[in-house]
Amino acid sequence: MIGTTTSLKLPLGEHLAARRRRQVVAWLWLGAALTFAMLVVGGVTRLTQSGLSMVEWEPLVGVVPPLNEAQWDEAFAQYQRYPEYQKLRPDMTLAEYKTIFYWEYAHRLLARTIGLVFLVPFVLFWALGYLKGPLTRRLLLLFGLGALQGLMGWLMVASGLVDRPSVAHERLAAHLLLAFSIFAVCLWTAADLIPKGRDRTHALPRQALPRDPVPTAGVATRRLHGWLIVFGVVLVLQVTYGAFVAGLDAGLAFNTYPLMAGGWWPPAAWHLEPPLRNLLDNIATVQWIHRTLPLLLLLMAAGLVVAMWQRRQEPGGRLDDSTVFESVALLLFGTWLLWLHRVTRLALGARVPLQGPVPVVVAPSYASANAEAQPQAKRTL
């Protein structure tokens, strides 16, 4: 309708018809859901110390687990040649080995499943002409992250098969951050494929939309951008140090907080040389940072909530039920982190869910806040 003005931000892949766009969005959501499942299974694999139970990387042949006693004996014999068995589990039985093997097997099988779920629809969409321009580049980025994740997974396992009975915590952190990155890129791309604006319309060809200048971001919008960046940086640090704590088995080194061993700063927290090594390898320092960052994240979450509300009161913003939901979600996330950093001795069943709420709670709220931080251009239809 000529002369009708609506606030509409053109989505990624604007060449796609609405039906095709919905198909790509559903595919990306499925990828994000499987990646989340991978994070949970990976967490269980880590907590059960199952990650080194499969000592060979066979992307194709490894799909089939041992099927008879002879194959199980061979797999167990291979495991017995490496430091984890020799130094930590010399009395392990075959039945116990099967338990940890199946957790790592499930982890790798799910990784292969995710690869197929991404690859087959991608090839199909490409053949049907769905993928052009920026959308293609975004999805190739996603595939690059997936390939790098597979390589990093094996490099991580390989670090525990030489002279140490555990994986390198730096590689563990890289492996976890790559998983979070894949999850984030899936949701980011899906969100960019959905038209945004007060009036949702069907996708129109690029030529059908006269181009008006994009409005300059207001003060509240710029402030929201700043809070998003700060919150994201601190969150990445928290996830990284969580992996460091897991890799170094630092979680039980000190059982109290904020006082650790009777002081605000744990003893021997800065004794390694060169000094920067303490930020990576010192158990006391790593645990102190991981337990202190949630305090900062709570402040960042509160600041982000305030910035979101201020942005929605600017011209073109809006205040609705989603504002309240996102605000409560972010604050609950901060409160959950405060509770988590006080917990040091938990049974496996209680520790498994601790990793899951990070992407589930933060990602939707963060994506919505990011969308709100984008100035809405006027389009005349």
Residues 349 and 333 in one domain: yes
Residues 235 and 190 in one domain: no
Residues 49 and 35 in one domain: yes
User: Rounded CA gap, 338 and 294, in Å?
Assistant: 6
User: What share of the chain in percent tops pLDDT 70?
Assistant: 72
Predicted confidence (pLDDT) per residue in 308-334, tens digit: 777 776 665 554 444 444 555 555 555
DSSP label at residue 377: P
- Which residues, 6 or more positions from 109, have their beta carbon under 8 angstroms from its beta carbon? 63
Residues 103 and 196 in one domain: yes
pTM of the model: 0.79
Residues 112 and 20 in one domain: yes
Residues 165 and 280 in one domain: no
- pLDDT band at 337, cuts 50/70/90? low
* SS3 label, residue 354: helix
Residues 116 and 180 in one domain: yes
Residues 224 and 297 in one domain: yes
Residues 232 and 194 in one domain: no
The domain tally of the chain equals 2
What string of DSSP letters covers 318-342?
---HHHHHHHHHHHHHHHHHHHHHH
Question: Regarding predicted confidence, which is higher, 278 or 249?
Answer: 278
* Of the residues 191, 209, 227, the one at which a domain ends: 209
Q: Which residue range(s) make up the domain with 357?
A: 215-381
Residues 137 and 261 in one domain: no
Q: What is the pLDDT of residue 324?
A: 46
* Of the residues 192, 209, 226, the one at which a domain ends: 209
> What are the backbone angles phi and psi of residue 306, rounded to the nearest 5°?
-60, -45
Residue 36 has pLDDT above 60, yes or no: yes
User: Rounded CA gap, 169 and 66, in Å?
Assistant: 29
Predicted confidence (pLDDT) per residue in 275-294, tens digit: 899 999 999 999 899 888 88
Question: Regarding predicted confidence, which is higher, 143 or 256?
Answer: 143
Q: What is the pLDDT of residue 24?
A: 93
User: Rounded CA gap, 162 and 23, in Å?
Assistant: 46
Q: Considering only CA atoms, which of 303, 309, 297, 284 is closest in space to residue 340? A: 297
Residues 70 and 135 in one domain: yes
Residues 246 and 183 in one domain: no
* Of the residues 209, 238, 266, the one at which a domain ends: 209
Sign of CA dihedral 171, 173, 178, 183: positive
